[in-house]
Amino acid sequence: MTEIAAPPPARPHRRARRLLAILAIAGPGLIAANAGNDAGGVLTYASAGAQFAYRTLFLMVLVTIALVCVQEMCARLGAYTGQGLGSLIREQFPVRASVGALVLLFVANAGLTVSEFAGIGASMELLGVSRYVAIPIALVALWALTVLGTYSKGERIALVLSLAFLTYPAAAILAHPNTRVVARDLLTPQFPHSTAFLVLAVALIGTTITPYMQFYVASAVVDKGIGPDGYKAERVDTVNGAILSDVVSVFIIIATAAAIGGSGPLTSARQAAQALVPAVGSAAPTLFGIGLLGASLLAAAVVPLSSSYAIAESVGAPRSVSNSLREAPLFFGLFTLQLVAGAAFALAPGNLVSLAVDMQVVNGLITPVLLVFVLILANRRSVLGTAANGRMFRTVATVCVAAVSVLAFTVVVLKIAGKA
């Protein structure tokens, strides 16, 4: 009896193969962009909704465009050069400029670390624990987990806790915001002529286009071995990640504006938690506290690690959490210094929410300088060859960096004049 040959297995559809390829390398862009929704980010977005209702939404659209451009350039630099931003800046710029860039990164990340510990203190106060107990315990735990090489386990726990913030889109919808006003403020500029709005705008830029995100995404692309051949899919990941993270940020603003819009700057984490009441009712303070704690713990380790990586990389020193303290003293020393300084500032008397937002302002003032380095690198054919910025992209990216720089410079002038 003649056997009937089995039909050859069907080949996967070309689109399916492309999708699998994208999913296989998805990560660096998405993780880097969503890292901006940390404690300082959430509190800053909530403060924007509380203070100016929906009027910062159009600004967030512009900031999203800038974030997409910046993150794409950084991911492209990593993929086509096989180097992180720290190495590229050291090689392509004079020593003084390189040192200045790394010092600014260190200062920016130190400020962010302060805001993360402020988030830890604010979240634990919501859960009934004093900041003077919670922050020292968090400091010791984060240091031990990272230096002893078990940080990845703690990272997973913190990541799960921070998923509580996914309730913001539901809260924004259930709060029944004025959709006509939301649409208007999303599509047209609504910029109040006030110094307070300018300062908050810089804070929004600082917490959205965060320098450590740029350094992280370039290094992560290199670490994953993504080269020119795989960059097309990584570009999708990077762009989608930037857009998705800012969509969540917009929902935070809308939910808070619908709940307490026009009440002025946030004065407490409990006030920010009111935005979640439409979604979870009386559990809002607890859920917000858990989410804020997770986001704070996660970023309180990642942020100082990113600047430690960049600085150690620039001088050729060992730079891995898998190294021992003896093997990488500079790397762990810088990490420890930032943790201790961040915890100390957060323990000082004062409003923790205001402290977190103020640190985003500092970050926003530093961001434009570091973005200039990124733009110059991405424009240079000597660095990227044919993958360097084209005329259209160069124009859009330059306008974005220039706009951010002008806004930051304006706030600096106002502060010097005593008007901010």
DSSP 242-287: HHHHHHHHHHHHHHHHHHHTTS-S---HHHHHGGGHHHHGGGHHHH
pLDDT digits (tens, 9 = 90+) for 326-351: 878 888 898 899 999 999 989 988 88
| Per-residue confidence (pLDDT) for residue 316, from 0 to 100 | 74
- Find, among 364, 363, 367, 357, the residue nearest to 119 by Cα: 357
| Per-residue confidence (pLDDT) for residue 20, from 0 to 100 | 41
For residue 103, how far is the Cα from the chain centroid? 19
Residue 380's Cβ-count burial label (10 Å; 0-12, 13-18, 19+) is middle
- Fold type of domain 28-224+246-261+271-416: Amino acid/polyamine transporter I (1.20.1740)
Buried b (16+ CB within 10 A) or exposed e, 353-363: bbbbbbbbbbb
| Per-residue confidence (pLDDT) for residue 311, from 0 to 100 | 83
| Per-residue confidence (pLDDT) for residue 351, from 0 to 100 | 82
- Find, among 136, 290, 306, 279, the residue nearest to 212 by Cα: 306
| Per-residue confidence (pLDDT) for residue 133, from 0 to 100 | 93
| Per-residue confidence (pLDDT) for residue 185, from 0 to 100 | 92
pLDDT digits (tens, 9 = 90+) for 189-208: 888 778 888 888 888 888 88
Angle CA 386–101–353, to nearest 5: 115
Q: Is the model's pTM score more than 0.85?
A: no
Tokens linked to 275: 């935005």
Give the dihedral of Cα atoms 338, 341, 344, 350; nearest 10 deg.
-100
- Low-confidence residues in the chain, pLDDT < 50: 1-13, 16, 19-26
- What are phi and psi for residue 244, nearest 5 degrees? -60, -45
Under a CB-based contact definition with an 8 Å cutoff, are residues 395 and 236 in contact?
no
